[in-house]
Each structure stands twice: as structure tokens, then as C-alpha cells.
Chain A
Amino acid sequence: MSLLYQIFIDPFAQMIASPDLLVQTIWEGFVGGVLYALIALGFVLIFKASGVFNFAQGIMMVFAALTLVGFHEKGAPAFVALVLTIGVMYLLALGVERVILRPLVNQPEISLFMATFGLTYLLIGGGELVFGGNPKSMIASELYLPSGSIDLKMLGGTVSLQKLDIAAAVIALVMVVGLGLFFQNTRIGRALRAVADDHQAALSVGVSLNQIWVIVWFAAGVVALATGIMWGARSDVSFALQIVALKALPVLVLGGLTSIPGAIVGGLIIGVGEKLGEFYWGHIFGGGIESWLAYMIAMAFLLFRPQGLFGERIIERV
């Protein structure tokens, strides 16, 4: 009986008793959700344009962040290091297209998916060799990212918003809107959507698949870099971070694999849901439920809408 009380009554009572804490938790969840959404965005970009589910998106994020810090450690000023890193991500996109995508162009999707597994391990091993396995701190201040916090007095208490988090949310919003407009309105964006639908048809109307793929993987790489900077600024950059990318999967489940707005909405739902769940209900189960709560939320959604919130309904034709 008391367990039922703990699950169904107590958390809501706590929420009402300290609304400032509720808002704080929601804000934390929102920020986490924005970062999940950015990772998911990288997945969506690549999937939309090449039909490949890029498992390596998480490690690309870590790799990009490490490269940035690495250049800076070698003496490059912050923004030069940034430009150099963007260059590295471009080279990576070129490499991936040449070595992985081109030879596998006609293979079933699962092969390409597995190839990105291979890429992940390659980047983990190679990255650790080059940068060493120790966690590093992100050069946030050199990049003029704000620090400190804004404290709002509201609802009977204080809600503290980190300026960095606000910056992250703004940057993410700009990127999402920019990418969305790009896909809808430009020639290249149309070509990307054509490639996502049907490789051979796109080829037959003159779209250069190889160019498109390089562009898309580069874009995903830039998104990964931005995400890596944001994540790294909040906590250190290390290879453990790539597991976080797995959290993007429930986001994709919710938002659908091909929808940019879906990635955002999904990310926010998962981020907020996860934080609220852990904070108000986690202690009942001994804590640490953040590790699997996102997946359970996604599964619950899946059972009612198998294609996710925004994904396309697949009508099977026989």
C-alpha cells in the first residue's frame, strides 16, 4: 500500500510543494533533451540522405571534441583549432564515403549499419591511440561560451539556469532551423531528400550520390562537433561519452528516423521525462534508473505507435 502511495501520490505532492525544484528539474531535463536531440539530429541527417543508420554518430561527437582540444593543446588558438577541426570532419566524411559507402552501395541496410559499427570501433581505438584515454576538459572559455548562471527568483524559491545551457539551447535551435530550411528550400536539400528515397532513381536524374554523401556526412560531423563542444563543456570529454549517444536511440524511436522536428520533440520528451523520472521516482527503485528509463519510455510509445510520433506510417503492400 505504501508503495502505491510512493508511486502515485508522493511525487506529485513533492512537485506541488516545491514548484521551484520542479521547474529546475524540468529545465535540467530540457537541456539534456536538447543535447540528445542534437545527437539524434546527426542520425536523422545521415539516415534521411543515405538510408544508413550511422551508429558511429556518438563516437564522431567524441572524436570531434577531442580533435578540437588536441589542436588547442598543440598551440593553436581556439578559433583556429575550431576551423582545423571542421576540416578534419570534412576529411573524415570524405574517407567514410570513399572507403565504406562506395563499396557497399548496393548492399542491404543491415550491412551498412554493421559497417558503422566497425567505424565506431575503429574511431575508438584510433582515437585513443592518438589522443590518449584520459578525460580532457573542453576549451569552453576560449570559445567565448558563457559561464556562470542566471538565478531567477520564482515560485517561492530559486531556479538557477546555467548560461552555458541557455547558449546550448540557442545554438541547437539555430542549427535545427537552419538545417530544416536547407533541406526544404535548396537544390542540394532536394537532392538529399531524393537520395534518401531511392538511390538509383536519384542517380538517374543526375544527382551525384558520392557528392551528396560527403556533404551529408560532413554536415553530421559538424553537428557532432557542436554537440561535442556542448557536452564537453558541461562535463569532461572522454570516450565514455559515446555511450551517451546510445540514448539518442530512444529519441529516434519517438521522433521517427526521418524527421528533424521529430528529433527535437523526441529529444525533449526523453530528456525531461528521464530527469523527472529519476528525480521523483528514482529513489523508490534504488536510484540509477536513468540508465534504462529512456528506453522504457520509448518502448511504451512504440507499442501504441510503431512508427514513432512523426515517422511515416508504413503501409505494407502485398
Chain B
Amino acid sequence: MTESGRRTEEVLLSVENVWLSFGGVTAIADVSFDILRGEIRAIIGPNGAGKTSMLNVINGFYHPQKGRIAFQGQPRRRMKPYDAANQGIARTFQNVALFKGMTTLDNIMTGRNLRMKRGFFWQALRHGPALEEEIAHRRYCEEIIDFLEIEHIRKAPVGSLPYGLQKRVELGRALAMEPVLLLLDEPMAGMNLEEKEDMSRFIIDVNRHFGATIALIEHDMGVVMDLANRVVVLEYGRKIADGAPEEIKRDQKVIDAYLGVAH
């Protein structure tokens, strides 16, 4: 029943005593946890617990006032989003953040931007090295399109796609970055059962075949139980539990704060 990710014992990301506030509001208070390479780590908790803020901190979009974050052994405090992307951290967003003016294919190709090296001069010429580079990256994107089964919409403007497909395209765009760590912010929000099963299958395949470590914010406990190796539970910016899904399910603090009656 449990299809957990394949994981190692090597710590990929460690979050240590991180504090984050905006003005008078404390979003994250003294949170510490780690993510092991290869695992699927779920972050759960009630709304406003600081889950998205935590992802934003990992991305380098917010900078914690206190605390330390180390990625692949390298510590960093004031990392820029550009550096996070360069080091192999990709993500999807709670409200689909696709580039609405472009097609599916173009959106996914933007994920390859960091790896496209041909300079301005060749781009201005296009024919020649720049075009070869485009085609090479197009090949890679087509593999992702094939994997996510979205061939039929590759030239559609993403604004015209239904919500579930948009989420899939966003996943494809993140995958195009060949991430080491993939942050997924509520990837199943607003989906029906069938779509959730598809998305779960994609996430597991991403973990197994693309080799990406995954940190996942999710509200559907069934999904969390099935997919995650380990779970972190946040409430009001504090960590209240950390461990395997079975333990979390039975933890009284978690039940009181979030789950309600034990599943």
C-alpha cells in the first residue's frame, strides 16, 4: 500500500533553527528539520502554519532573520533565487504560476533557460549554434511532455487549459530544470480523485526515474500517507511533529492541531 520514495541516508537539505517574520507577524518560529537525498518529504499543517513560507525560504525568496540552511553540505543564509535555481532547486506554486502568455511547450522550455548557453550574438542569428541548442533542449522537453502525457496540448496557450492540466504543465516546467530538490506546493489542490491518482503516479515516477528528492506540501492525508517517507508537521510557524507517516497519524498533538479524529 505504501509506495514510498527511494531514499538514502545522506542529508540533502538541513533547516536549523530558522526564524522568519514579516513586520509584526512571525511566520516561522525556530523550525528545524532535514530532508534526505532521494526521499519524499511531506510538510503538512493547518492553513497559515508557515508551510509555503518555508518553501520560499528554501528557494531563497525570503531570507530568515535567524537560523541556518545548508544545501548539499553548503551553508547559506542570504541566497538569491537565482542561486537556488542554479544549485538545482525547482518548485511549483500554490496558485499556478505559469507564464500565461506562452504555450505549454514554451513554458517547459523556459525551464531549460539556465542550461542554454549560446550568447546574444548567436541568438540574433538563430540559424547555426543557437538553433542546434534549441533543438537539443526541445528533445529533452519532449521527453518530459511524453512522460506527463501532455503531447496533445503542447502548442496550446496555457491560459486556455483546464486547471488540472495547468498543474501538470507546471510540474513539467519544474522538471525541465533537472532539479536535485523539487518543491511541490499543494500539487493536488482542486483535483478530483482520478487526477490525484495521475499526479501521484507522476510524483513517484519523478522520484524514482528522474531521481529528484521531493518536498511536498499537501492537505490530502491519503496522498501523504501513500507517498511520503517522512512527514514534518507545522502549526503557527512551529514544528510539532516529525517522523514516519504512521507515527504522525497517531501523534496526539497532530490530531489535536490538524487531523481531528484519528484516521
Contact = CB atoms under 8 A, between A and B. Distances in A.
Contacts of A315: 22
A243 interface: no
Q: Looking at chain A's contact residues, is the secondary structure mostly helix, strand, loop, or mixed? A: loop
A17 to B, nearest CB: 47
Interface residues of A, number: 2
B144 to A, nearest CB: 23
A318 to B, nearest CB: 6
A318 B56 contact: yes
B22 A318 contact: no
Interface string B7-28: 0000000000000001000000
Nearest to A315: B22
Contacts of B61: 318
B93 interface: yes
A243 B178 CA distance: 53
A315 B22 CA distance: 10
7 contacts: A315-B22, A318-B52, A318-B56, A318-B61, A318-B93, A318-B94, A318-B97
A318 B61 CA distance: 9
A318 B186 CA distance: 12
Contacts of A318: 52, 56, 61, 93-94, 97
Interface string B28-55: 0000000000000000000000001000
Q: How large is the interface on B (under 10, 10 to 19, 20 to 34, 35 or more residues)?
A: under 10
A13 B124 CA distance: 56
B163 to A, nearest CB: 18
Interface of A: 315, 318
A315 B27 CA distance: 14
Interface of B: 22, 52, 56, 61, 93-94, 97
A318 B56 CA distance: 8
Nearest to B91: A318
Nearest to B97: A318
A315 B25 CA distance: 13
Nearest to B94: A318
A318 B183 CA distance: 13
A92 to B, nearest CB: 35
Nearest to A316: B61
Contacts of B97: 318
B174 to A, nearest CB: 14
The 3 closest A-B pairs by CB, nearest first: A318-B93, A318-B56, A318-B61
Contacts of B22: 315
B240 to A, nearest CB: 24
Contacts of B52: 318
A243 to B, nearest CB: 34
B166 to A, nearest CB: 16
Nearest to B185: A318
B58 to A, nearest CB: 12
Nearest to B56: A318
A315 to B, nearest CB: 7
A6 B247 CA distance: 76
A315 B52 CA distance: 15
B245 to A, nearest CB: 27
A141 to B, nearest CB: 55
A315 B61 CA distance: 12
A318 B97 CA distance: 8
A318 B51 CA distance: 12
Contacts of B93: 318
Contacts of B56: 318
A306 to B, nearest CB: 17
A318 B94 CA distance: 7
B12 to A, nearest CB: 22
B70 to A, nearest CB: 23
B184 to A, nearest CB: 13
Contacts of B94: 318
A31 B207 CA distance: 68
A315 B53 CA distance: 13
A318 B22 CA distance: 15
A160 B94 CA distance: 63
A118 B97 CA distance: 33
Nearest to B61: A318
A216 B236 CA distance: 43
A20 B22 CA distance: 48
A69 B75 CA distance: 72
B149 to A, nearest CB: 27
A318 B60 CA distance: 13
A315 B56 CA distance: 14
B6 to A, nearest CB: 29
A122 B12 CA distance: 63
B28 to A, nearest CB: 15
A318 B93 CA distance: 7
A313 to B, nearest CB: 9
B189 to A, nearest CB: 14
B31 to A, nearest CB: 19
A106 to B, nearest CB: 14
A107 to B, nearest CB: 14
Nearest to B93: A318
A315 B94 CA distance: 16
A318 B62 CA distance: 11
